[in-house]
Structure 1
């Protein structure tokens, strides 16, 4: 079925539409990767190095089983929306994403740097996981966690794969401190070239609000993005005992995001994490980190069934999801893909992306002769020479 004005048939088409619709700086922020972008590119390229081994004459009919659970929440497909900070691609932001995820029967992660309050997002989708960083005082962190719990967050995601890497070889789009008259005048030429994006914001009540409401202290107004970012930068880095304290303070389902080394996966199990996400922050952390999918098999080998293993990074089609599941992931998190969908067509565009992935997973299962995502094994995947996994002892070995 070919794409139409209101529907697109691939994530690649969503990206093309997002590029046409968004101001240059906003689109640039979505596709950014640290330094030369090596990790960003490898996240996608590595999936292309993995083959699939079809089976024929399997007699497979009827519907395939795509449902699973993540952090205790039932989801209708093994794809969860990853948390992403201040979303300037559409005025409804995370609330629209929450509704789209709910329509597809899945959960979403809400960034602590989100543009919408967690109360509004949880009202739109009760399957919400709140994401936070190790930032501020422990008292502040407890307040933020308590607020998320009261609002209905079903789990906590702590993100650790970020070292404040800002350098981009091609130049980073400037993120303003606030949208005052001077800033709007500077951005006006590129915004005027995207009248539909401008019209969306005009109908939505005005320019994007760069405040982050979910990290405010008791009785405080929401800080600006850079105000919160500055507090985060000034907070001494976390240690594993700190993360163990956070896990205890939260008291519910707990996911550690940013695992790329088997030793860290084992430490997450030791502190009582319920889940981990194999992630390199979408290529925005330490450049030259391998693709998440390259690290996945070694991490699965390290932790076995002691923790749910998710994967984040490079998912562009349903067959990518199937490859990750065959190599041991319970589910995947998507980031850029749904943001491109929202830029292309708002809430409907996010739902469109999720349904593209659902259809791709189903079609791939048919080709592999698998009736369920739970039947997938590494034998369904062909790993080419040079596809390396970390052995946990400081060296790489071929898969």
Structure 2
């Protein structure tokens, strides 16, 4: 179907509508990457270097897109990656949860979400809780137990972040609280986006920048930057710390942020359920290779024993198929569903998922595949030098 006022036919159109709907600073906060944005761009552009060879006869009339991720069945191999405070729409994570349930896929719930995990659990039962290594072990154990009690089906530990503030091409000022001073500073932008203001006025006022899932042992909810400061002040984890966290959780466990083979092997040795090959969407260390370039070597190293997902650069169903053909069990998306959320709330997130679902199905059809399980590396033409194969002893390319 062609685009209409309430529906769009590409992720690129979702991005354009989000830009028109959001105050420039809010849109920039989603769009910006670390430093000059090299990795952010490369995540997307790398997919264009991979080619597909369609066939023309004996094509399948039906295609199967279902799979499982960390023991959870999903109807398509696309998960919603955990993202922090979703102030692009008043419904935030609850809208995302509704879309995830409708699409029968898994939502990642961030420790920095603006909605409490218990409220999200009332909407969908298929969600993984995401945390950083932040605070004391006692605090981490307390937050994990809260997520477990709410019904989280798995834990994601995100490690791909180096506290890089050098976003020199567009990251805006973000306030600790939306007080009168902050609103006055944003007023020129808000005047230009009356529909954004109307949405929030209709639901009680400006977004709350508190992060309820980071509540302390007394139940006090910190502001975003108070929680962020706790995270920054926490010494980074060792592999021993990660092993403790995995044991503390005791269930399905994913490490998000691995791009090196040696790190993948260490994660496997800890008994993790899954690895997400991720560079934080280009928001971590700039000049990191595109995740699709890192994927095949990690699959070769540990893929028989660990589920491998890919996060970064997915914009089309054909991108999903390329990742699956190179060994990923599923992919995770971030910016695309936030753009859909900004454009049309829960319907917009559903719209993005259906675009990707249709794209996967159509690409399978063109390749003559009846199921995503039939995909193989030979279905993708990979140019020489495309794959990053790191030496697991010293990390140097070869």
Query: Given the two structures, how large is their TM-score scaled by the length of structure 1?
Result: 0.98
Q: Does the 8 Å CA contact 2:28/2:170 hold for their aligned counterparts?
A: no
Q: Does the 8 Å CA contact 2:297/2:387 hold for their aligned counterparts?
A: no
CA distance in 2, matches of 1:253, 1:392: 29
CA distance in 2, matches of 1:171, 1:93: 23
CA distance in 1, matches of 2:256, 2:40: 17
The match for 1:15 is 15
The match for 2:24 is 24
CA distance in 2, matches of 1:322, 1:309: 14
CA shift for structure 1 position 168? 1.4
* Correspondence 1:325-336 to 2 at 5 A: 325-336=324-335
The match for 1:287 is 286
SS at match of 1:310: strand
CA distance in 2, matches of 1:364, 1:174: 41
The match for 2:47 is 47
CA shift for structure 1 position 58? 2.1
* Correspondence 1:231-270 to 2 at 5 A: 231-270=230-269
CA distance in 2, matches of 1:304, 1:346: 36
Superposed CA deviations along residues 3-39 of structure 1, whole A, max 9, x for unmatched, are: 0011100000000000000000000001110001000
Does 2:33 align with 1:33? yes
Q: Does the 8 Å CA contact 1:318/1:364 hold for their aligned counterparts?
A: yes
CA distance in 2, matches of 1:386, 1:45: 15
Q: Does the 8 Å CA contact 2:318/2:363 hold for their aligned counterparts?
A: yes
* Correspondence 1:231-380 to 2 at 5 A: 231-380=230-379
CA distance in 2, matches of 1:4, 1:353: 14
SS at match of 1:311: strand
The match for 1:104 is 103
Q: Does the 8 Å CA contact 1:80/1:108 hold for their aligned counterparts?
A: yes
* Correspondence 1:183-222 to 2 at 5 A: 183-222=182-221
CA distance in 1, matches of 2:185, 2:389: 46
The match for 2:396 is 395
CA shift for structure 1 position 204? 1.4
CA shift for structure 1 position 395? 3.4
Q: Does the 8 Å CA contact 2:34/2:165 hold for their aligned counterparts?
A: yes
* Correspondence 1:19-168 to 2 at 5 A: 19-61=19-61, 63-168=62-167
CA shift for structure 1 position 123? 1.2
CA distance in 1, matches of 2:301, 2:212: 38
The match for 1:4 is 4
CA shift for structure 1 position 72? 0.9
Q: Does the 8 Å CA contact 1:10/1:353 hold for their aligned counterparts?
A: yes
Runs ≥4 residues deviating over 4 A: none
CA shift for structure 1 position 122? 1.2
CA distance in 2, matches of 1:104, 1:168: 34
CA shift for structure 1 position 392? 3.0
Deviates more, 1:168-177 or 1:255-264: 168-177
SS at match of 1:332: strand
CA shift for structure 1 position 87? 0.7
SS at match of 2:135: coil
CA shift for structure 1 position 172? 2.0
SS at match of 1:26: helix
CA distance in 1, matches of 2:165, 2:375: 38
SS at match of 2:271: coil
Q: Does the 8 Å CA contact 2:37/2:169 hold for their aligned counterparts?
A: no
Report how many aligned residue pairs link the two structures: 396
CA shift for structure 1 position 80? 0.3
CA shift for structure 1 position 60? 1.8
SS at match of 1:389: coil
CA distance in 1, matches of 2:326, 2:377: 5
CA shift for structure 1 position 2? 1.3
Query: Given the two structures, how large is their TM-score scaled by the length of structure 2?
Result: 0.98
CA distance in 2, matches of 1:79, 1:275: 15
CA shift for structure 1 position 389? 1.6
CA distance in 1, matches of 2:387, 2:77: 25
Q: Does the 8 Å CA contact 2:32/2:169 hold for their aligned counterparts?
A: no
Unpaired segments of 5 or more residues in structure 1? none
